Amino acid sequence: MAAPSDVPNGPERAAGSSRGWFARLVAKPGVQRLAARLPVGAAIARRDGAKIFDIMQGFVASQVLFALVEEDVLQDLLDGPDLAVEMALRRNMPADRMEALLQAGLALGLLVRRRDGQFSLARRGAAILGVPGLTDMIRHNAAFYRDMSDPSALLRGEGGTELARIWPYVSEPDDAVSTAEAAHYSELMARSQELVAEDTLGAVRLKGVKTLLDVGGGSGVFLAAALRRNRGLRGMLLDLPGVMPQAEDRLGQGGSSDRVALHPGSFRDGPLPPGADAISLIRVLYDHDDATVRDLLSKAYAALPPGGRLIISEPMAGAARPDRAGDLYFAFYTMAMGTGRARSPARIVALCEAAGFECPVVAPARRPYVTRVVTCEKRA
């Protein structure tokens, strides 16, 4: 039974009953047939029908995108326009099937067809190749797609998922994750971290920060970007031992290895290393359940000096205004990971305040499908 505070009453209950009555009316086939014969009703019915169909066929659109990437169609067309029959020959594919794939690319706005019948890249199709790591993520989504083939089982937590096996650090003991596994998932994350770093550093200023500790920083993409933008900044990176070789290589190539202290280990094991006056958690919290998050935030609070700053950057869901990236994609992606959860900015703020942090700021999201940023402070 719901708690008394959860039970609507008075005007709220009446409004809910009114909405329920209207929904039941709209759901009647006879009402839909009548609406389709009226000028205003017909326009609404057509618009609703188109949007519903767009949702229904969305899985086909995602698979067409996957096929265009997997078959290197976009990459081929980057070199110039081509005919469907020529592209089919090079792939040992029936010409009419290739024509169907390219026509679908036209419908998605990724390709254009010239008067001579050749296909070429549209601006949006070319942009897919220009976004760092995007084609890798599109290929990676094949595993997520299979996990979503039975969404009811996923929602009930029945059986294992492919994403849980791809990201073993989330559900397995840290010492059970091999160096090869750590290298694999860190490289996959690194390919998409450049955009996350760009948007995060566009939302926060590190002026006055002397040392930044990046917890769960992987191969150092975010930390390297922060050091490039802030020449007087020093860095610390904490992640599993299997990730350290990649971090050393990346930071060394960027010429910032002499400004970084690497700390192989897990934030689950003991306190965070001291010495930083800012801590960043970049796409870390949404990998874990609330208990792990509470523990990590408490450790971050303990590690920071008075006036220290906490930076949290990740896709978020559950806000008052739903967001397709957070409430559709990332909410179910983190669910398929096993222990993950895409949280709302308000929920993250509440968890930070429970750990002792103050002055929370939710930055305006430049690209919610990339990340959102919450910052707060440890007051004296």
Query: Tell me: the pLDDT tens digits for 90-135?
Result: 999 999 999 999 999 999 999 999 999 999 999 999 999 998 888 9
Residues 56-83: tens digit of each pLDDT: 999 999 999 999 999 999 999 999 999 9
Backbone angles phi and psi of 275, in degrees to 5: 115, -10
Q: DSSP letters of 157-223?
A: T-S--HHHHHSHHHHS-GGGS-HHHHHHHHHHHHHHHHHHHHHHHHH---TT--EEEEET-TTSHHH
> pLDDT-based confidence at 256, cuts 50/70/90?
confident
pTM for the whole structure:
0.83
Q: 54 pLDDT exceeds 70?
A: yes
Q: Which CATH superfamily is domain 151-377 in?
A: Vaccinia Virus protein VP39 (3.40.50.150)
CATH topology of domain 58-130: Arc Repressor Mutant, subunit A (1.10.10)
80 three-class SS: coil
φ and ψ at residue 98, rounded to 5 degrees: -65, -40
pLDDT digits (tens, 9 = 90+) for 20-44: 776 676 667 666 666 667 666 677 7
Q: Does residue 262 contact residue 268 with C-beta atoms inside 8 Å? A: no
Nearest by Cα to 84 from 133, 35, 108, 118? 118
The answer to whether residue 265 scores a pLDDT higher than 70 is yes
Binned at pLDDT 50, 70 and 90, residue 321 comes out as confident
pLDDT of 310 > 90? The answer is yes
Q: Where are the domains of the chain?
A: 17-56, 58-130, 151-377
- Percent of the chain topping pLDDT 90: 65
Closest CA to 200 of 225, 233, 176: 225
- 71, 98 in Cβ contact below 8 A? no
